[in-house]
Amino acid sequence: MTRIMEARAMHKSYGQVKVLEDVSFDLEEGEAHVVIGPNGAGKTTLFRCLSGETRINSGSIMLNGQDVTGLAGWQRVQRGIGRSFQVARIFQDMSAFENLIVAIETRERSEKGLWASFGHIAPRRAVMDEAERLVHELGLEGTLDDPAGTLSHGDKKRLELAMSLALRPKVLMLDEPTAGMSPSDRSEAVRLISDVRARYGLTLLLTEHDMEVVFGLATRLTVLHHGAIIASGEPHKVRADARVREVYLGQH
């Protein structure tokens, strides 16, 4: 296995508050790595640091063997990261279909250069076809023309996932992909994510609260507690870890 992401000795603090302390984190190619931890453990901060939404105070982050510590989020995206947000971020006033078009055109722009889509007004045929394929893959057929802001919570999440997939990332980072979903939607989402992972050969990095989702998806589990990693490894081993049971799983 190759190591696709490698973070070493990350420190992150907001003012006086230290959120991450000496965190080292690896992501192997092809794995589905889930980060769990109680509220305030630093999951989201870790997620933000790795994706480039915020810079770390010290430490280093490597992506595909390249140092990306000093790079902004959009530059890391161009190097193969796709991410979703805890509360789905989509372009509210555009139709769901246009959301996908924007995502695909953005990828083409990064791949082929600025002039790839120049000279056209309407999206090119290939872009439209690709958008339609994503629509079918993710089951967004019914909602194509509605303003994305009016979609249901679950559809917004699916649309955001589709937009991330349109970037053809190597690593897909999902921040609590099932937050706020009903139990039935949740199992549906888990099925969809593992489908997508298999089909695109993706490496996944997730944060999640729901244990069913965690053990449904994870091939590796990392437990964060007070800004430090206390366990990391195969899910069933982590589950059996005494310290983990104490701080986290034991509560359930």
Question: Residue 82 contacts by C-beta under 8 Å, 6 or more apart in sequence?
Answer: 164, 165, 167, 169, 171, 172, 173
Q: Which is nearer to another protein, 107 or 225 (CB)?
A: 107
Q: How many Å apart are CA 161 and CA 219, to the nearest integer?
A: 20
Which among 74, 81, 84 has a CA at the least distance from the CA of 7?
Answer: 81
Give min distance, CB of 137 to another protein, in A.
Answer: 18
Nearer to another protein, 163 or 213 (CB): 163
Q: Is the CB of 103 or the CB of 190 nearer to another protein?
A: 103
3-state DSSP call for residue 160? Answer: helix
Beta carbon nearer to another protein, 14 or 74: 74
Least CB distance to another protein at residue 160 (A): 8
Toward another protein, which CB reaches closer, 4 or 172? 172
Closest CB 93 distance from another protein, rounded Å: 6
Q: Can you give the binding site for another protein, defined by CB under 8 A?
A: 51, 53, 72-75, 77-78, 82-83, 85, 89-95, 97-98, 101-103, 105-107, 109-110, 117-118, 120-123, 144-145, 163, 167
How many Å apart are CA 41 and CA 5, to the nearest integer?
A: 21
CB 67 within 8 A of CB 122: no
Q: Which residue, 13 or 78, has its beta carbon nearer to another protein? A: 78
Return the H-helix or E-strand segment holding 35. strand 32-36
What is the number of alpha carbons within 13 Å of residue 14 lying toward its C-beta? 8
To another protein, the closest distance from the beta carbon of 83 in angstroms equals 5
CB-based contact 218:226 (threshold 8 Å): no
* Least Å from the CB of residue 3 to another protein: 23
Residue 216 CB, nearest approach to another protein (Å): 26
Indicate the SS3 state at residue 19.
Answer: strand
Q: Which residue, 83 or 220, is less far from another protein as judged by CB?
A: 83
Which residue shows structure tokens 């769990």?
36
Q: For 207, phi and psi rounded to 5 degrees?
A: -110, 145
Q: Cβ 185 to another protein, closest distance in Å?
A: 22
Cα(170)–Cα(243) distance, integer angstroms: 33
